[in-house]
Structure 1
């Protein structure tokens, strides 16, 4: 009887249940990645990926912490915590204090420009046609809206910072992109730089989608990747290994595929699908 009890106890010790623990997910109020209230509450792209991972890991408690977006990397650097965050840019500097998954957690289109549909018509830029940000600024002399202290990638940042006599409207507020979208609809600026899903969500939620459209940019890479990052400590290393394996699983599902497409306008969904497909074929 004692031996049977020992065997049961040993089984529980080595079973997946023994790895039961809590992962604190750092989230923030930033639609359409995290939608904390309103009509589309909990339908954000990144929070939906976290939910797919949660279903795969029933023995792990997922605790969602809402913090200011500017403090995500700061909180991840706290080695006494057990935090993870989705959809982070991975670079050598961040690798010094954050563990990253090898698998990407999200894949999206790179930054695009939003503009009035009438402006797109006057520029003779058809749906699905790319535009050059440099040409729009240097040749067309259009007024550009950007969020303060936000990087759009090396190539686009270079265009913005080196093109002479650029007319830029910068908004430093917490809801800077929403404020700029409002200005764009009023034609107080000509083009607005952001990510396609952001443009689409804001235009839709602010009921400007009948007025505004967007175009991809020739200076931007085809795709933008985000990764899961976790605190660089012993538990963080285990979390990263566990989450990396589960990303391989959910990325094969139709639910994950639909999450990536959810906040893209209809004309850009085929573009994301084709670019993801071409990238997979190139990797084979």
Structure 2
């Protein structure tokens, strides 16, 4: 009798293992793609790290019905192309534009809520401009003697997009297809390849510790922007992508209520910004919902 029971147990175990194998083989794989953009997402010591990667992992843990793989694609031009043609590709930290809505499904709540762009320039340029507390981007772009460096394929908030479109084709605007978006451009700024660029406060906080001559640079708020901007999670525009994007929305609605979610960003900005950010996170960000 005991031998029979052991045989039955072994048979049931084999059947269970076969079912698990068959289930796993039927699971669809989500490819999570991201730009090389410290401190949000980047590679360090052979591992993908950054607060954006942590959020992706939190989402993945809530979606056990899928297999998941991470892939760093370098810059935003490549990332957008992969989303457009990928079978089931998702990404984080993208602004919503009319063009992108044609080939991406967006989460209905934003994934990131961050301080808006600032202008970064060398101290000498800052002093020549009179040490302004804020800078008009339009005014800078009208100064033909100053060169503006930007990342090819990277998209910004609506106000910034409209201004850049207005000045599209200007001879003093230079776009670079760099793999490490902010870091590469910042090094070029230090080497006088151009005179100013965009940078987010979290990028400035991180890169100031890792770039030579960072003390020779100054960040200044842009007159034409607000205090904050928000970006979204996106997926390929097909049936599977729509299902996953909807799942991400549901997951984010719960995850964003957790204290650690807010702290992912708080931990990469300077302390003087913490209380201001926390207030707007709770009063503004958590209420944003777009169909």
Residue 38 of structure 2 corresponds to residue 31 of structure 1: yes
Q: 1:136 to 1:83 in 2, by over 3 A?
A: closer
Deviation at 1:97, TM superposition (A): 2.6
TM-score by length of 1: 0.73
Structure 2 length-normalised TM = 0.72
Determine whether 1:44 maps to 2:46: no
For residue 107 of structure 2, the aligned residue among 82, 94, 101 is 101
Question: Which structure has the larger Rg over C-alpha atoms?
Answer: 2
Does residue 82 of the first structure (1) align with residue 112 of the second (2)?
A: no
The equivalent of 2:136 in structure 1 is 132
Relative distance call for 1:141 and 1:221 in structure 2 (3 A) is: farther
CA RMSD of aligned residues (A): 3.8
Q: In 2, distance between residues paired with 1:93 and 1:148?
A: 16
| 2:189 alignment partner, one of 177, 184, 205 | 184
1:55, distance to aligned residue in structure 2 (A): 3.5
For structure 1, list consecutive stretches of 5 or more residues without a partner in the other structure.
1-8, 10-16
Q: CA deviation at 1:248?
A: 0.8
Deviation per CA, 1:226-245: give whole Å up to 9, x if none. Answer: 11112233322321222111
Tell me the distance in 2 between the aligned counterparts of 1:254 and 1:183. Answer: 37
The within-5 A match list for 1:106-255 is 106-117=112-123, 120=126, 125=131, 129-138=133-142, 142-160=146-164, 167-175=172-180, 177-187=182-192, 189-255=194-260
Q: Give yes or no for contact 1:200–1:209 (8 Å, CA) kept in 2.
A: no
* Cα distance change on mapping 1:123 and 1:277 into 2, 3 Å: farther
Q: What's the offset of the Cα at 1:131?
A: 2.5
Q: Sort the Cα spacing of 1:175 and 1:88 in 2 relative to 1 into closer, same or farther, 3 A.
A: closer
